[in-house]
Structure 1
Amino acid sequence: MSFREKMPTSPKSPLRKRRSSWTGSWLNHPTTSFKQVVSAVIQAQSPRSRSKSLSSDFDFTDIDRTLSLPDSLLLKILQKLPDSQKNDLSLVCKRWLKIQGRRLRSVKLFDWDFLLSGKLVSRFPKLTNVDLTSACLNPPRKNSGILLCHKSISFHISSDSSNWDFVEENLLNSEMVDRGLRVLGRGSCDLLKLVLINATELGLLCLAEDCSDLQELELHKCNDNLLRGIAAFENLRALRLVASVDGLYNSSVSDIGLTILAQGCKRLVKLELSGCEGSFDGVKAIGQCCEVLDELTICDHRMDNGWIPALSYFENLKTLRVSSCKKMDPSPGPDKLLGSCPALESLLLERCCLNDKDGMRALFKVCDGARKIHIQDCWGLDDDSFSLAKAFRRVRFLSLEGCSVLTTSGLESVILHWEELESMRVVSCKNIKDSEISPALSSLFSLLKELTWRPDTRSHLSSRLEGAGIGKRGSKFFKKR
């Protein structure tokens, strides 16, 4: 007898009765735990359960009851599972494989052919965050255990390789990258963030036609011509441009590219310029056109002298970060021509060389209204350089970390001029010592709301502050602003 002939067909058949009673019993017994429900679902999907049903003359108690659940409801159920079990869901059946693919929102691709074949967008149709940089690098012919990483780029290199132009020679050509962008655009209309390398203007324009909602873009090895394609992303809010990286690849973004960027991306909120060239004109164009820009990062710049005065054109800038720069601005011009950023709240200096007195004076003058100052792992910050920080008028929070040249007297000479200082953090500054704290500096410590004091391994002030209440009295002396 065939399977169809043994199946009950009447409305009162056991099969129809069990299907209706299964949902009813679930809803009518609120004490049934979710764990029991999921366990029953997984058990129903197991091969052992299926073989048992075939060998027991079609025992319908082991029927896959999840078939009656819509995908949306089943997806909500599976999301309640622990993270350790979610990766195994795709092994249950093809339906669960598809549902599991819809759950994934972020992916870092390592195989470019997986994108070109269309499997990436079909397997994961709801992607919003895609990183293509690793897939754009051809792997070495021989297996290598050496992994070279630089921020968002990572790749394997051969142990016997002496070629420092590895990235330049092993990048996918621009035509191949553009083909991948066209495939990605046709299948990822929900794309919000993209990271890629060695694309062209045409590739970005094709992607913008299908992914107009893209909000965050990170471009490596970019140049002036590539920036012409960015204007097509009307909803772009965050942009990171990486032009040149020492030892990896070389490219150029000049004032021409910065001007194109300024005119095409007027709704930018966050911008990072890494390894970019340019000068006063390019930075000024961004400040004038990108009126809602909230955060600006300058990293490893190769800009011409005189770019710092252009920062005064950023009327709504709140956070300025300068990172990994070997120089500031040797010739910023006379102080009387320097303006200021009226809305600036935070200035962050990270891993920079700060022995350029003229550049530091200009930077502090333009940022004189900042309320939070962070200086971390910067070399060349001696007492003379730090004395230029007296230009700040409204500092409430100061953080110093890894400033090994600065002394206690140099610190004191500046912070005693800041009438609004409320919090301070001093960590790993070995020339700042407890024994050199003056009565005036000790009195200031007692008025601070928060104080983190670990300048060196021999400092014992932090332990003594715990019982004295210093660092907690500031709320009595400062009014709410």
Structure 2
Amino acid sequence: MLNFLFRLSDRNSSYLFLKIFSQFLLLYYLSKSPYLNLHTPRPVSQSGSSSPYSESEPESDASNHNSLPAATALLSDELLLKVLDKIHDRKRHITNSLVCRRWCVLSGKLVKLIDWEFLESGRLSFRFPNLEDVNLVPACIKSARNSGILLSSKLIEVRLSSGMVENGEGLFVRKGDVFESKEIDFGVAILAEGCKNLRRVVLMNVSEEGLNCLAKECELLQEMELHNCGDLALRGIYNCKNLQILKLNGNINGVYDSVVSDIGLTILAQGCSRLVKLELVGCEGSYDGIKAIGQCCQMLEELTICDHRMEGGWLSALSYCSNLKSLSFQSCKKIDENPGLDEHLGSCMILEELHLRKCQMQDKQGVKALFVVCRRIRELVLEDCWGLDDSVFTAATIFRSIRSLSLKGCSILTTQGLESVVLSWKELDRLRVVSCNNIKDSEITAELATLFSLLKELKWQPDSWSMLSASLAGTGIGQKGSRSLSWN
């Protein structure tokens, strides 16, 4: 049972199971919890005094801990956090924290605030003084708490009222639907003063003053996500000396509209020199802003560009990111409209991975320029990219050191286009092709079949009618210790 649970924990299909399992654990522990039994005395120490635990962290005596079932005792903190995270009701999170000391500590790492008054009153910091991770975005938006309309995406999740949906401005969240910056700054100051152990925070419409307070009070802060914040607000994170991960959301289509330009990117670069991972969503900018990040953030290893609004010529600035190891593009309508000459583009010298997901790649010039900048990569991932045909994919022959290729949802790329590129890669040892309907088993040549036999790892499922498994039966591929073949 326990092994089955661990296998499910990393799959999307485990959501329902974890939800049911969490409810079972909750009911069991609440039935055993001394906090629901008014006749159960509090443990007393040998000296006769009450246990020294504070009210903010309920105690759990040894006998109560030893009575925990083996299944829960053996669950790692990471897995138990996944279970608890599926419970979205704030009141239930508070109840969970009363089960035992371990659950109290873990619940304090998963707070998603939906009631702004709970923060302003000081109850949040009093209840969870050791809070490490908090999301204030749902509480920053003025919406009906009992609304049945939930806007959910990888970028944001908020409850919407009917008035917000019918506002006529083309945005789900207007400026008037969000608390003013002064009010949010006040709440952030209360949070920072009461929860000095914060390591991750998600904020919305906060100003320079609020971020300044957070930077001064929470020295352990390492990760931050900002929504709907303008350029000048970024001056507030100048004192976040230990900030390593930043996700900056400038403009989210249809949700809210704010501007982050070269000004904000330059301020960010000068203030966050220790950044290791940076994600820019809906940000404007140009060569100057990206160059400033590359020159100032010397420790930057991962950069993600999502739905960017960069001016032409910005790609050549990536060469200033001297320690960049992973570069990702997501939901970008363009790469670079005017990249310039290849000899002026430069190169990311130690870049290892390039990921493009849900991007429009019909601009051959922009794609070619990107490949020139990333020509030293060892891993290429292309998923659900529109416009990736044979002529565009041919530009990938510039990758001479590539070892791994993953293709998914590239519906107009053909078998000939794939073959013309992968046969030029002498070091390729891993290939994954999934849901690419124009790549056919019947068109596999002898050269391509030979390459398949030399690969260490092959996942081949270009379409639901793939018959490669039958044609390769008896070849021994997938039976050797260092090689594997999967077609399901």
Please say whether Structure 1 and Structure 2 have the same fold, judged by a TM-score greater than 0.5: yes
Picking from 177, 185, 190, the partner of 1:183 is: 190
- Residue 455 of structure 1 corresponds to 462
Structure 1 residues 79 and 363: alpha-carbon distance in aligned structure 2, compared to 1, 3 A threshold: farther
Judge conservation of contact 1:230–1:264 (CA < 8 Å) in 2.
yes
The alignment of Structure 1 onto Structure 2 pairs a total of residues equal to: 424
What's the offset of the Cα at 1:47? 3.9
Structure 1 residues 386 and 95: alpha-carbon distance in aligned structure 2, compared to 1, 3 A threshold: closer
Residues 130-169 of structure 1: pairs in structure 2 closer than 5 A:
130-140=134-144, 143-159=146-162, 161-163=165-167, 164-168=170-174, 169=176
| 2:289 paired with 1:286 | no
Gaps of at least 5 residues in structure 2 are 1-27, 73-79, 484-488
Counterparts of 1:144 and 1:211, CA distance in 2: 34
Judge conservation of contact 1:305–1:330 (CA < 8 Å) in 2.
yes
1:74-131 Cα distance to aligned partner (Å, 9 max, x none): 5485667336999999779x99788864442221110000000000010111110010
| 2:342 paired with 1:335 | yes
1:371-418 Cα distance to aligned partner (Å, 9 max, x none): 010000111000000000001111100000000000000000000000
What's the offset of the Cα at 1:467? 4.0
Picking from 435, 444, 452, the partner of 1:428 is: 435
1:19-63 Cα distance to aligned partner (Å, 9 max, x none): xxxxxxxxxxxxxxxxxxx99x95877648x3xxxxxxxxxxx85
Judge conservation of contact 2:60–2:100 (CA < 8 Å) in 1.
no
AA matched with 1:109: L
- Residue 128 of structure 1 corresponds to 132
Judge conservation of contact 1:276–1:302 (CA < 8 Å) in 2.
yes
What's the offset of the Cα at 1:222? 1.9
TM-score by length of 1: 0.81
What's the offset of the Cα at 1:179? 0.6
| 2:369 paired with 1:362 | yes
Structure 1 residues 291 and 463: alpha-carbon distance in aligned structure 2, compared to 1, 3 A threshold: farther
Picking from 350, 353, 359, the partner of 2:360 is: 353
- Residue 59 of structure 1 corresponds to none
What's the offset of the Cα at 1:343? 0.8
Judge conservation of contact 1:299–1:322 (CA < 8 Å) in 2.
yes
What's the offset of the Cα at 1:189? 0.5
Judge conservation of contact 1:371–1:395 (CA < 8 Å) in 2.
yes
What's the offset of the Cα at 1:332? 0.3
- Residue 179 of structure 2 corresponds to 172
Counterparts of 2:125 and 2:411, CA distance in 1: 51
| 2:221 paired with 1:221 | no
Picking from 323, 327, 331, the partner of 1:320 is: 327
| 2:213 paired with 1:206 | yes
- Residue 381 of structure 1 corresponds to 388
Deviates more, 1:425-434 or 1:220-229: 220-229
Counterparts of 1:65 and 1:45, CA distance in 2: 12
Residues 300-311 of structure 1: pairs in structure 2 closer than 5 A:
300-311=307-318
AA matched with 1:193: R
Counterparts of 2:382 and 2:153, CA distance in 1: 23
Judge conservation of contact 2:326–2:354 (CA < 8 Å) in 1.
yes
Deviates more, 1:409-418 or 1:74-83: 74-83
Residues 228-247 of structure 1: pairs in structure 2 closer than 5 A:
228-247=235-254
Counterparts of 2:137 and 2:230, CA distance in 1: 17
Counterparts of 1:167 and 1:79, CA distance in 2: 46
Counterparts of 1:360 and 1:170, CA distance in 2: 39
Picking from 412, 418, 436, the partner of 1:405 is: 412
Structure 1 residues 465 and 123: alpha-carbon distance in aligned structure 2, compared to 1, 3 A threshold: farther
What's the offset of the Cα at 1:215? 0.3
Counterparts of 1:314 and 1:356, CA distance in 2: 24
Structure 1 residues 66 and 389: alpha-carbon distance in aligned structure 2, compared to 1, 3 A threshold: farther
Structure 1 residues 127 and 457: alpha-carbon distance in aligned structure 2, compared to 1, 3 A threshold: same
Judge conservation of contact 2:246–2:279 (CA < 8 Å) in 1.
yes
What's the offset of the Cα at 1:250? 1.2
AA matched with 2:157: S
Structure 1 residues 249 and 47: alpha-carbon distance in aligned structure 2, compared to 1, 3 A threshold: closer
What's the offset of the Cα at 1:277? 0.6
Structure 1 residues 179 and 64: alpha-carbon distance in aligned structure 2, compared to 1, 3 A threshold: closer
Judge conservation of contact 1:448–1:474 (CA < 8 Å) in 2.
no
Structure 1 residues 229 and 430: alpha-carbon distance in aligned structure 2, compared to 1, 3 A threshold: same
Secondary structure of 1:167 counterpart:
coil
AA matched with 2:139: A
Counterparts of 2:386 and 2:349, CA distance in 1: 28
1:156-188 Cα distance to aligned partner (Å, 9 max, x none): 334574223341131111111001101001101
Counterparts of 2:65 and 2:92, CA distance in 1: 13
- CA-based RMSD: 3.0
1:225-275 Cα distance to aligned partner (Å, 9 max, x none): 011111111100001100011111111111111111111111100001111
- Residue 25 of structure 1 corresponds to none
Counterparts of 2:201 and 2:258, CA distance in 1: 20
Structure 1 residues 383 and 43: alpha-carbon distance in aligned structure 2, compared to 1, 3 A threshold: closer
Structure 1 residues 73 and 469: alpha-carbon distance in aligned structure 2, compared to 1, 3 A threshold: farther
Q: Percent identity?
A: 50
Counterparts of 2:159 and 2:94, CA distance in 1: 30
1:126-154 Cα distance to aligned partner (Å, 9 max, x none): 1100100101011139x532211132422
Counterparts of 1:195 and 1:88, CA distance in 2: 21
Judge conservation of contact 1:237–1:268 (CA < 8 Å) in 2.
yes
AA matched with 2:109: R
Deviates more, 1:247-256 or 1:450-459: 247-256
